[in-house]
Amino acid sequence: MRESGEERFIAALRAIATSPGARGLADDAAELRLTNTTLVVTHDMMVEGVHWLPEQDAADVAYKLVAVNLSDLAAKGAMPQALLLGYMLGDADWDARFAQGLADAVEAFGVPLLGGDTVSTPAGSARSVGLTAIGRPAVVPAPSRTDARPGQALWVTGELGGALAGFEAMQAGSADAALTRPFRRPDPRIEEGLAIAPMAGATMDVSDGLLLDAARMAEASGTTIAIDSAAVPVCAALADRRIDAMTWGDDYELLFTLPESKEPSFAATRIGTVLPRGDHRLLLDGEPPATQTRLGYRHG
Ligand SMILES: Nc1ncnc2c1ncn2[C@@H]1O[C@H](COP(=O)(O)OP(=O)(O)OP(=O)(O)O)[C@@H](O)[C@H]1O
Ligand SMILES: Cc1ncc(C[n+]2csc(CCOP(=O)(O)O)c2C)c(N)n1
Ligand SMILES: [Mg+2]
């Protein structure tokens, strides 16, 4: 697969981010070990036209910014503790709606906003927003993407494709709030992440698409991951478009491995198996995905 601009830049940063807590820039979040405690730290940005439609309600943008960052904490089994916001001013209405959505998220997730920074930008710039989220891990070390082992089963929470179905509904001008919600206001799997941390092999969230993120887990673990496509839970709206549901991304479900003898204590679906590393990182129904299949979302 051709290296994306995102992958090339992160590879260059690996030479700089050599602290063990950076986890080789190959995980959902970093681990910051202090004398008496350990924190999990993550930062995600969103950009107008890339992560949200220009006509979208800013309240939904703010809510999603919090949710996607908390999803990375959830993936490391960490309880959210604090947020820091990086904000580009818009017009007064946009700023007021953004603040409302941020208030909704702070209340919904019970996590305090501690600070941040606000800037103005030249007229006409596309807007971008960033958030740092800090969490307290249920177990130390927090589960990583590197701990998938041959013989373990692969599991995923929820359903895939809800974000794509919601995005397409929004593009079509739908006012169906329930259909568009998974795209506008995803629900990070915080409780599930805390529950699975002590039992799991590898854990991650599936922000960029199930197939790409499973391939990343396999790569980080030095294994091959085999997915049974018929087992993958797909939302009703995309029942006939399973590959789209497995590759579009933005679903923020948890992907994790467990020993064969264990089952999660919450609703999740077994979708595959971890194998010793073979010729391919990923097998879909026993075969490597066709080379033209786009496995997931990559920047650049
Ligand atoms: N600009 C950057 N500076 C330092 N580290 C970075 C930068 N961009 C990405 N990384 C690191 O690269 C790794 C992979 O990042 P990536 O964004 O793919 O993971 P993620 O946050 O789980 O995914 P998503 O952004 O889709 O939620 C992480 O360790 C992340 O901290
Ligand atoms: C307007 C609009 N068009 C397309 C998409 C789809 N999309 C953009 S980034 C991304 C992956 C996660 O991002 P990141 O890897 O930066 O965390 C996905 C699935 C969207 N959300 N909004
Ligand atoms: Mg992640």
The rounded Cα 95 to chain-centroid distance in angstroms is 25
Q: Which two tokens stand for residue 294?
A: 């786009």
Q: Give me ligand 2 centre to Cα 138, in Å.
A: 29
CATH architecture of 5-137: 2-Layer Sandwich (3.30)
Q: Which residue's CA lies nearest to atom 6 of ligand 2? A: 51
Q: What's at 272, amino acid-wise?
A: G
Q: Give me ligand 1 centre to Cα 231, in Å.
A: 29
What is the DSSP secondary-structure string of 194-223?
HHHTTT-SSEEE-TT-HHHHHHHHHHHHTE
Closest atom of ligand 2 to CA, residue 183: 21
Nearest ligand for residue 46 CA: 2
pLDDT of residue 292: 86
Residues of the chain with confidence (pLDDT) below 50: none
Closest atom of ligand 2 to CA, residue 49: 1
* Residue among 28, 71, 76 whose CB has most ligand 1 atoms within 8 A, to mutate: 28
- Parallel, antiparallel, or unpaired: how do β-strands 269-276 and 113-119 relate? unpaired
- CATH superfamily assigned to domain 153-284: PurM-like C-terminal domain (3.90.650.10)
| Cα-Cα end-to-end distance for the chain | 13
116 annotated binding-site participant: yes
Burial class (CB in 10 A: 0-12, 13-18, 19+), 262: middle
Nearest ligand for residue 186 CA: 2
- Residue ranges, CATH 3.30.1330.10, the chain: 5-137
Task: Provide ipTM, 2 decimals.
Answer: 0.95
Q: Give me ligand 3 centre to Cα 254, in Å.
A: 9
- Residue ranges, CATH 3.90.650.10, the chain: 153-284
Which is nearest to 185 in space by CA: 256, 268, 107?
107
Q: Give me ligand 1 centre to Cα 42, in Å.
A: 8
pLDDT of residue 291: 83
How far lies 54's CA from each of 58, 150, 177, 187, in Å?
A: 9, 45, 18, 22
Strand partners, 135: 40, 80
Burial class (CB in 10 A: 0-12, 13-18, 19+), 36: exposed
